[in-house]
């Protein structure tokens, strides 16, 4: 059976990942009634990550520990869910994967090459996405969207950290297209400041060639 596609949505908090993931899932199902789609997210099952995100209000603390927690949770996510589901031919859309840890923990002060090594040391247990959709939004728009959600702010949801996080994602996008192509895979940068329908059109345009290659592959 042909392996499904693994598409990851990345971006700062408030970038619209969940909304655009739902939009793309609808598009994939419209392309064929036989297309199965699974939506998932990270962090996945780690209660310790969730506890720290809710309780620790210092966005810049515990970068090393957070890196390892996220990578370990990702290994579990990949081996227990992603790889088996993809092997059944189902397409998987993920809200965050390896690029998130590189962006967030790099912003916390952990060298990005150290974070990459944490991943590569896990060998075949982690995946390279077929496509990463990086939704880029301005600091003001991202902060306003988070405010509208009405949830208590988590560890990384403060203005100073988010401003630095935007810069980290921009630098990672350059790395993904130059020195770290094999690690990140294909990355499409999409302007997430626009209305939902326009952003969705950009996502579809980035996804279409990936889907067409998958469709004709043996």
Q: Which of the 8 DSSP states describes residue 153?
A: P
Nearest Cα to 41, choosing from 12, 73, 69? 73
The pLDDT of 89-106, averaged and rounded, is 99
Mean pLDDT of 61-81: 98
**Can you tell me the mean pLDDT for 185-207?**
99
Whole-number average pLDDT of the chain: 97
What is the predicted pLDDT for the residue at 164? 98
User: Domain locations in the chain?
Assistant: 6-216
Q: With H, G, I as helix, E, B as strand and everything else as coil, classify residue 93.
A: strand
Q: What 3-state class would DSSP assign to 178? A: coil
Tokens of 138: 């301005």
pLDDT per position as a tens digit, 128-156? 999 999 999 999 999 999 999 988 889 99
CATH topology of domain 6-216: Rossmann fold (3.40.50)
What the block records as the tokens of 57 is 């209000």
Mean pLDDT of 19-36: 98
Mean per-residue pLDDT, 87-114: 98
Q: At 84, is the pLDDT very low, low, confident or very high (cuts 50, 70, 90)? A: very high
pLDDT for 1: 87
How far is it, in rounded angstroms, from Cα 200 to Cα 62? 35
pLDDT of residue 96: 99
């Amino acid at each position: 059976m042909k392996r499904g596609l693994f598409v990851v949505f990345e971006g700062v908090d408030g970038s619209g990942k969940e909304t655009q993931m739902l939009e793309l899932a609808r598009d994939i199902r419209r392309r064929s009634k036989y297309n199965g789609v699974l939506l998932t997210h990270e962090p996945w099952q780690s209660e310790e990550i969730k506890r720290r995100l809710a309780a620790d209000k210092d966005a810049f603390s515990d970068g090393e520990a957070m890196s390892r927690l996220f990578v370990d949770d990702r290994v579990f996510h990949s081996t227990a869910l992603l790889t088996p589901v993809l092997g059944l031919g189902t397409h998987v859309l993920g809200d965050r994967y390896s690029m998130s840890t590189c962006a967030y923990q790099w912003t916390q002060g952990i060298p990005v090459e150290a974070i990459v090594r944490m991943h590569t040391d896990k060998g075949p247990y982690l995946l390279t996405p077929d496509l990463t959709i990086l939704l880029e939004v301005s600091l003001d728009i991202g902060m306003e969207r988070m405010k509208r959600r009405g949830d208590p702010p988590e560890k990384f949801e403060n203005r100073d950290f988010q401003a630095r996080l935007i810069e980290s994602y921009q630098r990672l996008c350059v790395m993904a297209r130059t020195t770290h192509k094999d690690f990140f895979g294909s990355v499409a940068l999409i302007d997430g400041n626009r209305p939902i329908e326009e952003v969705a059109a950009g996502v579809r345009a980035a996804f279409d060639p990936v889907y067409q290659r998958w469709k004709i592959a043996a």
